[in-house]
Amino acid sequence: NFKEFNDRYGYNHGDHVILLLSRILRDVVRGLAPDGFVGHIGGDDFIFIVNMKHLEGCCDEIIYLFDELIPYQYTAEDRRAGYFLGRDRRGSIRRVPLMTLSIGVVTNQIQPFTHTAQVSELAAEMKTYTKSLPGSGYAVDRRRLFKEEIEQP
C-alpha cells in the first residue's frame, strides 16, 4: 500500500516512511546481529543479511517496531478507521488499509546458491507469498532446488 500512501500523503511523507523503515532495520540489525548487513535496494525494498541464529529475533523486532510506529504516519482519522479511501494501481477507488511489512527470507541452509539471481528470485517469491497473508509478517523459504536447477548458471 506504499504507492497509495504516497498518492494520498505526498512523496515527502513517503520518503519519511522509507527513512523510518531504514532506521528500524539498521537499529535492529546493529543491536541483535552486529555483524549483519542492511542495504536499500530501491523504493520501499530493502535487504538485510544476518546469521540464522539472529533471524527470528531480527524479523520479530523489525515487524513489532514497524507495526507500532507506522500508524503514526497517518492522520488521526485514517489511523482510527484503519484505512483511507484511495485509488489502486488500476485507478479504482478502494479502502486502502494501513501499511504492513512483508519480509521474504532466503537461507543457504537447505540449498546452495550458485548465483545471486537465485537468491533475489526466491526472496521476491517469499515476499509475494508473505504479502498474500494478513498483516505484517515474514516467511522463510524451506524448499529444495533440484540438482538441475542448482547447476544452471
Q: Are residues 7 and 75 in the same domain?
A: yes
Q: Are residues 94 and 136 in the same domain?
A: no
Structurally, how many domains does the chain consist of? 2
Q: Are residues 67 and 105 in the same domain?
A: no
Q: Are residues 79 and 108 in the same domain?
A: no
Q: Provide CB contacts within 8 A for 110, sequence distance 6+.
A: 142, 143, 144
Q: Are residues 109 and 85 in the same domain?
A: no
pTM of the model: 0.88
Q: How far apart are CA 31 and CA 61, in angstroms?
A: 10
The closest of 88, 90, 95 to 6, measured between CA atoms, is 88
Q: How far apart are CA 58 and CA 80, in angstroms?
A: 29
Q: Are residues 106 and 146 in the same domain?
A: yes
**Mean of pLDDT values over 20-41:** 97
Q: pLDDT band for position 144 (50/70/90)?
A: low
Q: Are residues 86 and 106 in the same domain?
A: no
pLDDT 10s digits, 74-113: 999 999 999 999 987 788 999 999 999 999 999 988 888 8
Range of the domain at 125: 100-153
What's phi and psi for 55, nearest 5 deg?
A: -60, -55
